[in-house]
Chains A and B, each alone.
Chain A
Amino acid sequence: MTKRAGIGFYILLIIFVFLVMFPFIWVFLTSIKPQGEIFSSFQWFSSNMTFENYASALETRPLLLYMLNSFVVATLTTIISIIVASFTAYAVTRLPIKFKGLILGLVLAASMFPQIAVLSPIFNFVTDAGLRNSYLGLVIPYITISLPLAIWILSTFFIKIPLSLEESAKLDGATPFQTFRKIIFPLAAPGVFTTAILVFIAAWNEYLFALTINTEDSWRTIPVGISFYQSQFSVPWGDITAATVIVTIPIVVLVLLFQRRIVAGLTSGSVKE
């Protein structure tokens, strides 16, 4: 934080932000054009602004239901993986167990495996368990993605908590689990929250399992549902752009509210402090 910002800087900054946001801007502008103006028209602004695309987007597909599904699946995934992962991260960072390196290595390896490699066995497993087209049917495979991620990030937060607090709790006669629950977990709460946001976003965005496992329309999530506006020979860009705007709004809100935490979580693994 050394330099002061001048006018030139702000101009560069505005250009950069504009370039990054351009696709959204264009998609938004398209979504409020009437049908006839969308095709082959490169006018930025339409003289006949309309919200008919929004009405049509919400009418032709159950967009809000897709969002609800995404929300429920992502929330369940987040709760389960945060609970399980915080246990593991705590044990690995603060308890005297063997094979810590091996366990972390395993977690890292698990976070690197390609989803495609487990798609068909997982699909058969979920089918046999009768969990196709249910929330749990997606939550289970999503744990493959979110659990390693959560352990990895949480462990960086746990390690930062001073050991002295635990020592004094121990002297007061607390059991190790009480120490974890009463001392460490509350202290790590900001980190846990950050991890939860990242896990939530990862689960919200997942595509391959969602595409394969939940094939019933009422169980589809957003990333898959949005591709269903297309019909065999035509692509209704009006509806699609409107739908894109609608599904982007919650993400924008989430990011605006929690940008500081998200950045903290993203950088937790890569920066030595």
Chain B
Amino acid sequence: MKRGFLMVALLAGLGLAGCSAFTSGDGASDDKVQITYARGTDTTGATDILVKEFEKEHPDIDVVVREMPSDSGQSHNQYVTMFSGRSPEVDVFDADIVWSAEFGQANYVLPLDRLIERDQINMDAYFPATVEAGRYNGRQYAMPGYADAGLLYYRTDITDQVPKTWDELEQLAQENMGKEGAEFGYLMQAAQYEGIVTNAIEYIYSYGGQVLDANGNVVINSPEAIEGLNKMIDIANSNFVPNNVLNFKEIDTESSFNEGNAVYARNWPYMNDTANDENVSKVAGNVGIATIPAGTAGNASALGGWMRMINRYSDEVEASWTFVKWMSGEKGQKISALEGGKAPTIEALYDDKEITDVSAVLASEDFYNSLQNAIPRPITPIYPEISDIMQIEISRALAGEITAEEAVKRMETKMQAALESVNQ
């Protein structure tokens, strides 16, 4: 009997001791301040260098990196789970540019206004859209991190003509398709997911339409938005895009373009690397980039990318702010650009030869202009719902189930209802 009990107690004890020994493993040492920086998986290794450089300059701060899922939606859910439990486990994190209103409204993240004012950070040094994306209800919740903007890719071995407008794109895609084995004239993202929203925004805003105005009112039901959407419907149903374009995401665009199947394609800057990599691409060396074509109201490139926020429940606000300030500053952004190929959000960095030497994208004036004219997606605390509504209705319109007029009307009604249920 005794032995049996001993055994049970021993097993239980082992289990518990094992656990506690493991949990208490990473306590902060000495009088160093330890902060945790969470971000999506980084395959470039730039984060490690960034952190090492920062720790060299700030020996009193120890930065622990925590990897989150690279899928924006999945990491969003994990952050929400943590912050709703008021957990201080993460101090600084990379936030998708569409999260600021939601996280700000929920009081998950620290408003940075007092700190920005105290340390006199010059917010005008950043591209306006990247600052605007982090602002909600008169407060700055995020510092710009790195940016993405939609770009037009084209095959330099087929054509040197770059379409300036959507109309020109239609014409040139038509003319050039079939050359050099390029089966399609143009590739875009029109599957029903976040990508269809970014694509649609580029059409709608380039014709002068808007989704939400500065006060958060729904203004999508406008002749301009209809015109933009009609152009998108036109292109998605033309004979120069693949007939399964309604299934296309970034990765499909990338593989198809790299296989040499298309003349023009819309994608994010990242594709420039793979398209020019001989191991995976048949078009390496024949890739040109340009701004997204314009509508009647000019160019509009959808803004993507990530910002830096501080957890409202962080125990180490000062150290976190020091880190955020440094990362978003010139030094931090330069490291991200040199080591990770990330596009800086500070305008002046595009004058730095070292940075423009990193890649054709960073050297491209068109990319710089795209960032200048970039459009953040609607800034609202219920962005996931707004995006959902747009995905469903736009996808229907592209499939020909409803007209552009019907689509904007339905989006208007649904968005208003969604906003109302939150605001009352």
Convert B14-25 into 0s and 1s, putting 1 for each residue whose CB lies closer than 8 angstroms to a CB of A.
011011101100
B173 CB to closest chain A CB (Å) equals 23
Could you pull out 29 A-B pairs where Cβ atoms are within 8 angstroms?
A35-B280, A36-B279, A39-B280, A40-B259, A79-B11, A83-B8, A83-B12, A123-B81, A123-B85, A133-B23, A134-B23, A135-B18, A136-B15, A136-B16, A136-B19, A136-B23, A181-B1, A211-B78, A212-B78, A212-B81, A215-B89, A228-B69, A230-B41, A230-B69, A231-B41, A231-B43, A232-B72, A233-B254, A233-B270
Stretch at the interface among A3-11, A124-132, A163-171, A259-267: A124-132
Number of residues from B at the complex interface, CB < 8 A: 41
The 8 Å CB contact of A76, one of B8, B18, B250, is B18
Tell me whether A39 and B19 are in contact (CB under 8 A).
Answer: no
- Within 8 Å of chain A (Cβ to Cβ): is B420? no
Q: How far is the CA of A123 from the CA of B279 in the complex (A)?
A: 45
**Which residues of B in the span 242-274 have a Cβ within 8 Å of any Cβ on A?**
250-251, 254-255, 259, 268, 270-271, 274
> Nearest 6 A-B pairs (CB), nearest first?
A134-B23, A136-B19, A127-B85, A231-B70, A135-B19, A217-B67
| Contact between chains at B23 and A131 (CB < 8 Å) | yes
Nearest to A235 among chain B residues (CB) is B251
A233, B82: Cβ atoms closer than 8 Å: no
From B270, which residue of chain A is reached at the shortest CB distance? Answer: A233
- Chain A residues at the B interface, C-beta cutoff of 8 Å: 35-36, 39-40, 60, 72, 76, 79-80, 83, 120, 123-124, 127, 130-136, 139, 177-178, 181, 211-212, 215-217, 227-228, 230-235
Which residue of the partner chain, among B8, B20, B268, contacts A233 with CB atoms under 8 Å? B268
Select the residue from B18, B85, B89, B251 with max chain A CB neighbours within 10 A.
B85
Q: Does B199 contact A (CB under 8 A)?
A: no
B403 at the interface (CB under 8 A from A): no
Interface pair B12/A181, CB less than 8 Å apart: no
How far, in Å, is A140 (CB) from chain B's closest CB? 10
B27 at the interface (CB under 8 A from A): no
Beyond A39-B255, A124-B85, whether A216 also contacts B66 by CB under 8 A is yes
B12-63 interface with A by 8 A CB criterion: 12, 15-16, 18-20, 22-23, 40-41, 43
Q: In whole Å, how far is B153's beta carbon from the nearest beta carbon of chain A?
A: 14
The interface residues of chain B lying within 8 Å CB-to-CB of A83 are 8, 11-12
Q: Judging by beta carbons under 8 Å apart, are B23 and A232 in contact?
A: no
Which B residues are within 8 Å of any A CB, using their own CB? 1, 4, 8, 11-12, 15-16, 18-20, 22-23, 40-41, 43, 66-72, 74, 78, 81-82, 84-85, 87, 89, 250-251, 254-255, 259, 268, 270-271, 274, 279-280
Q: A39-B280, A136-B19 are in contact. Are A230 and B71 (CB under 8 A)?
A: yes
Contacts of B19 in A (CB 8 A): 76, 134-136, 139
CB distance from B159 to the nearest CB of A (A): 25
Flag if B70 contacts A79 (CB, 8 Å). no
Name the B residues within 8 Å of A139 (CB-CB). Answer: 15, 19
Interface pair B18/A178, CB less than 8 Å apart: no
A212, B79: Cα distance in complex, Å: 10
Check A215 against B66 for contact (C-beta < 8 Å).
Answer: yes
In the bound complex, residues from chain B placing their C-beta under 8 Å from that of A227 are 69, 74
- Residue of B22, B66, B78, B82 touching A217 (CB-CB under 8 A): B66
Residue of B nearest to A131 (CB): B23
The smallest C-beta distance from B124 to any residue of chain A, in angstroms, reads: 29
Measured CB to CB, the nearest residue on chain B to A61 is: B41
Whether the Cβ atoms of B251 and A233 lie closer than 8 Å is yes
Q: Chain B residues near A181 (CB, 8 Å)?
A: 1, 4
Q: In the bound complex, how far is the Cα of B66 from the Cα of A177, in angstroms?
A: 49
Asked if B85 and A232 sit within 8 Å, CB to CB, the answer is no
- Chain A residues positioned under 8 Å from B254 (CB to CB): 233-234
- Give the distance in Å from the alpha carbon of A183 to the alpha carbon of B34 in the complex: 55
**Complex CA distance for A124 and B67, rounded to whole angstroms:** 22
